[in-house]
Structure 1
Amino acid sequence: MLAAVGHAQRLRVIAELARGRVHVSELARRLELSRPLLYMHLGRLEAANLVRGELELSEDGKAMKYYELMPFDLHLNTEAIVAALAED
């Protein structure tokens, strides 16, 4: 989880998703990030269970990917840092 939040762009993604669920293309526009780069950051956040992506079908049958922030509570202390480094 520390690695996921230890990047400025991923913190921006979290802050934007705190405003509510959003389609990935809209999120890319808001953050001024390319979709491939955004998907990389979202993948890391999703692996840490900080965000969740969900596919939906539009009325015309097009797959739409939406992301939302998952509830989390991060406590940072010496033990958490030592444990994160041991996992790395």
Structure 2
Amino acid sequence: MLAAVGHPLRLRIVAELAGGRVHVSELARRLGISRPLLYMHLERMEKAGLVAGDLELSPDGKAMKLYALLPFDIHLTAGTILDVLQSDEQGGPTA
């Protein structure tokens, strides 16, 4: 989870989603990035349990992917940082 929020763009995604669910195309426009790049970051955040995406049908029948911020609480300590660094050095999972 620490790695998932340790990127400036992901922090901007959190800020945008703090106001409620957003369609992925609208989120990409707000952030000024491509949808493929956004999906890459959202996938990392979803694996860490920070966001959730849901498919919905628009009134004209098109599938729309909407993302929402999930509740989370990160407690950052020196021990947490050491654990993450040790896991990275050992090739462990980085969520």
Q: TM-score, normalization: structure 2?
A: 0.88
Aligned partner letter, 2:80: A
Query: Please, which runs of 5 or more residues in structure 1 have no aligned partner?
Result: none
RMSD after superposition: 0.8
SS at match of 1:65: strand
Q: Which digits, 9 at most, give the CA deviation of each residue in 1:34-81, with x for residues without a partner?
A: 100000110111010000000011122211000000000011001111
Q: TM-score, normalization: structure 1?
A: 0.95
Identity %: 69
Query: Partners of 1:63 and 1:84 in 2: how far apart?
Result: 37
Q: Which residue of 1 aligns with 2:93?
A: none
Query: Please, which runs of 5 or more residues in structure 2 have no aligned partner?
Result: 89-95
Query: Where in structure 1 do 4 or more consecutive aligned residues deviate above 2 Å?
Result: none
Query: Partners of 1:60 and 1:87 in 2: how far apart?
Result: 47
Q: Equivalences for 1:70-81 in 2 at 5 Å? A: 70-81=70-81
- Aligned: 1:57 with 2:57: yes
Q: Which residue of 1 aligns with 2:68?
A: 68
Aligned residues: 88
